[in-house]
Structure 1
Amino acid sequence: MVQNFVINAVVNYIMTNILISIIGPTAIGKTALSIKLAQYFDTEILSADSRQFYKEMSIGTAAPTPTELASAKHHCIHHKSVIDNYTVGDFENEAITILDDIFKSKNIAIMVGGSGLYVDAVTKGLDKFPKVDSSIRLSLNERLNSEGITSLQEQLKILDQKAYNSIAIDNPHRLIRALEICIGTNKPYSSFLTSTNKTRNFKTITIGLTAERTIIYDRINLRVDQMITEGLLDEVKQLESMQDLNALNTVGYKELFRYLNDEWTLEFAISEIKKNTRRFAKRQLTWFKKNTETLWYDYLTEPGVIISDIKKKINA
């Protein structure tokens, strides 16, 4: 009987799929840690960074370098074009398929990314929203370009105060998504949100990297300077004719488009990239702090310490 118990315990351990999710603000070192963990656990990496999906956006999204990509097998890096209509729902379906495939031969997979909604889509699943007329989104995007984001924010405040207070209203994608649901259904966007998580065939261990805010901001400023040195402006110039696409309405690109449109000086555009990236990092931390089960570490923590804690968590 004891022997059978031991065998069953070993089988149960082997059958438990583990997703190690690495989160944290931008420029904190998530990519480097993900590679260390993937190499240690001999597994593959799924990116949940919504900006790194697009093959035309490399420098401005701080995508893994060719050397880093060669260090471990990656998924969902530069696998789409900015002209593709690729939603978070599409990502959820694709990511789960990828993880199912990884778990056929491995019991551990790594996910890394600072896009909170995309991380949650994999670990918890998305709420289901009704389809609405696509012309609503087109109209809202036109208003965004002509009137700016403030008028859209005010409209959401009127239509759905709860959503206004809970979503990232300075993120045009999130704002327009909420508004198009409100307008298309005549119901609040928040009325379609649930607290029920989907059943997954894996257990998630979430690892968070952080630092003092001044350190995070200094690292962001340095990274932006490095991006400029590496040729971010040239990358943006190649996308200038497509600047109205949703995928390009993002930090690092939208500011330089304004420079190319003779609205701003280059110096001011770069300062705005830094400011908006710092604001983005603040929103990331706010989102990620909602998960009380996250194991948080200072960004300078040795990977060996984190690996040891993960192994303890797996065996708990």
Structure 2
Amino acid sequence: MNKHLISVVGPTAIGKTAMAIEIARHYNCEIISADSRQFFKEMSIGTAVPSEAELKAAKHHFIQNISVEEDYSVGDFERDAIEKLKEIYKQNNIAVMAGGSGLYVKAVTEGLDHFPEVDSKIREQLNEELLENGIFGLQQKLQELDPVYYSKVDKENPHRIIRALEVCLQSGKPYSAFRNQQKTPRTFHPIFVGLTSDREVIYDRINQRVDLMMKEGLLEEVKKLYPKRALNALNTVGYKELFQFLEGNFTLEEAVAEIKKNTRRFAKRQLTWFRKQPEIKWFDYQTPAEEIMVYLESKTHG
């Protein structure tokens, strides 16, 4: 277990990419992106994909590597990321992972429960129901099919609700029946670095980022994707609100305010998820990189 995976986590817009690059340059190693929104080629502005300069500063994997048309689950990512790490570890005992998608980080560092393959038609039907009738009907359906998981799930997260429902409908069994299985042991030691700040600072950074995205052309990006709006990948903050604007349900000002509000909620959920993990060493987002390197050196050589 002399191999390490340094995982940089924290809420959206806190500076994870920049810190991951600093660490990758220090160790002359590569970065695995665990940001599930950055996998898609057609989405760049609204997902805050690393800039050309950032991508040149350190080698990244799983950035804009698939299409929104493709079904790509957290299980697919777990498999692909573990394979990529095996390659990386042939050259270097250290790799970096960055991203705020807690489930995707967990998939790589711990492993996930394995669920049955789901017919894409089931997923499409559930996404259409969400678009037409909102989340309430899906919540009720999940409560009927799997009250155990319903009592634990984030009921405002459509991805989680749909994921559970599609497994229930495909298998005829509750989603909860597939959880907490034996995991495949990892051949590396995970080290977690968390970046955070006061809530006001996080929210202010989010608001500034959304304004910058709009200036950079987020609306134009969303217009191109509008015909594909029913796809699972596009049912996400920054895109769904502007689809609502294009359909005449919001003014542009209202849509931007909704993006900011929903991104702040997302950040709150990210912090709730990560704060339950005692193995994460937290740093203020303005902590000098050198100070974080001292901590990492103690963990990688300790």
| TM-score normalised by the chain length of structure 1 | 0.92
Matched, 1:116 2:102: yes
- Corresponding residue for 2:5? 19
- Corresponding residue for 2:87? 101
Of the structure 1 ranges 269-278 and 166-175, higher mean CA displacement relative to structure 2 is found in: 166-175
Matched, 1:291 2:265: no
1:133: how far off? 4.2
Matched, 1:204 2:190: yes
Of the structure 1 ranges 260-269 and 154-163, higher mean CA displacement relative to structure 2 is found in: 154-163
- Corresponding residue for 1:8? none
- Corresponding residue for 2:158? 172
Aligned AA (2:74): V
Matched, 1:52 2:52: no
- Corresponding residue for 1:163? 149
**Aligned pair in 2 of structure 1 residues 133, 78: CA closer, same or farther (>3 Å)?**
closer
Of the structure 1 ranges 154-163 and 196-205, higher mean CA displacement relative to structure 2 is found in: 154-163
Query: Aligned equivalents of 1:132 and 1:52: distance in 2?
Result: 23
**Aligned pair in 2 of structure 1 residues 82, 131: CA closer, same or farther (>3 Å)?**
closer
- Could you tell me whether the CA contact under 8 Å between 2:13 and 2:205 is conserved in 1? yes
- Corresponding residue for 2:215? 229
- Corresponding residue for 2:173? 187
Identity of aligned residues (%): 57
Of the structure 1 ranges 284-293 and 60-69, higher mean CA displacement relative to structure 2 is found in: 284-293
Query: Aligned equivalents of 2:181 and 2:256: distance in 1?
Result: 40
Matched, 1:250 2:230: no
Count of aligned positions = 302
Of the structure 1 ranges 286-295 and 160-169, higher mean CA displacement relative to structure 2 is found in: 160-169
- Could you tell me whether the CA contact under 8 Å between 2:4 and 2:190 is conserved in 1? yes
- Could you tell me whether the CA contact under 8 Å between 2:146 and 2:176 is conserved in 1? yes
Aligned AA (1:146): E
* 1:64-75 equivalence runs, <5 A: 64-75=50-61
1:195: how far off? 5.9
**Aligned pair in 2 of structure 1 residues 53, 38: CA closer, same or farther (>3 Å)?**
same
- Corresponding residue for 2:113? 127
In structure 1, stretches of 5+ residues that fail to align are 1-14
User: What secondary structure, in the 3-state scheme, does the structure 2 residue paired with 1:56 have?
Assistant: coil
- Could you tell me whether the CA contact under 8 Å between 2:128 and 2:230 is conserved in 1? no
Query: Aligned equivalents of 1:136 and 1:232: distance in 2?
Result: 30
Of the structure 1 ranges 153-162 and 54-63, higher mean CA displacement relative to structure 2 is found in: 153-162
- Could you tell me whether the CA contact under 8 Å between 2:127 and 2:231 is conserved in 1? no
**Counterpart pick for 1:213 among 182, 199, 209:** 199
Matched, 1:28 2:14: yes
1:83: how far off? 1.0
Aligned AA (1:151): G
Query: Aligned equivalents of 1:134 and 1:29: distance in 2?
Result: 35
**1:75-102: CA deviation from partner (whole Å, max 9, x where unpaired):** 0001111111111111111111111100
- Corresponding residue for 1:3? none
Aligned AA (2:135): I
Of the structure 1 ranges 117-126 and 141-150, higher mean CA displacement relative to structure 2 is found in: 141-150
Query: Aligned equivalents of 2:6 and 2:63: distance in 1?
Result: 18
Superposition CA RMSD, Å: 1.3
User: What secondary structure, in the 3-state scheme, does the structure 2 residue paired with 1:238 have?
Assistant: helix
* Higher alpha-carbon Rg: 1
- Corresponding residue for 2:25? 39
